[in-house]
Chain A
Amino acid sequence: SQQGEEDPQALSIQEGENATMNCSYKTSINNLQWYRQNSGRGLVHLILIRSNEREKHSGRLRVTLDTSKKSSSLLITASRAADTASYFCATDGNKLVFGAGTILRVKS
């Protein structure tokens, strides 16, 4: 069963704007990961945040984790057209379970 649920389902923004995607999950986790998928391709790992971390940065990406609310957010700053993709959160208990994903479209 899927555990992570992202919102919004789809997001359309202008290049240069920030994009924020949220993920909620149901059970306790060891870590939470964000992945990106270009259409018809495999997934690319973006960032992992452990259950004892609250915030993590990687380049233009910023991830937060609130274990009390069982939620995480992914912020992409200064978006580019090349950021257009689907983004998934995945919770890692014993195995990765993916959310439904957010389709991000960045218009140039």
Chain B
Amino acid sequence: GAVVSQHPSWVICKSGTSVKIECRSLDFQATTMFWYRQFPKQSLMLMATSNEGSKATYEQGVEKDKFLINHASLTLSTLTVTSAHPEDSSFYICSARDRGVYNSPLHFGNGTRLTVT
């Protein structure tokens, strides 16, 4: 089945530093990838839609200069949390659609637990 690999699975960083999270589709190509944020015991909130070869589309209230998204290839999207602060601590999950499958469901990575101290 379609596999999305997300790395790292967890990261602890100091306030003010930047953290990069990678999302790879291992056995399919994804024109579009999605980045979600999830707080404890809450649902997933869509942060942005990552489009291969073009700029990401951010949801209302999400700072694009804070959460930099790059989708340089059909199998890789990255999310960089810049100048991280404790309030950025959260669970970040990426997902991708298989562009070769009509109405493909989203395939999710296992998430990245970010803790900013």
Contacts and interface: CB of A to CB of B under 8 A. Distances in A.
Interface of A: 2, 30-31, 33, 35, 40-45, 48, 50, 88, 90, 95-101, 103
Contacts of A31: 103
Interface string B106-117: 111111010000
Contacts of A41: 110-111
B44 interface: yes
Contacts of A95: 34, 46, 49
B108 A42 contact: yes
Bin the interface of chain B by size.
20 to 34
Interface string B67-81: 000000000000000
Contacts, number: 53
Interface in B33-87: 34, 36, 41-46, 49
15 contacts: A31-B103, A35-B108, A40-B113, A41-B110, A42-B6, A42-B109, A42-B110, A43-B44, A43-B106, A48-B103, A50-B103, A95-B46, A95-B49, A98-B43, A100-B43
B43 A45 contact: no
A48 B97 CA distance: 14
Contacts of B103: 30-31, 48, 50
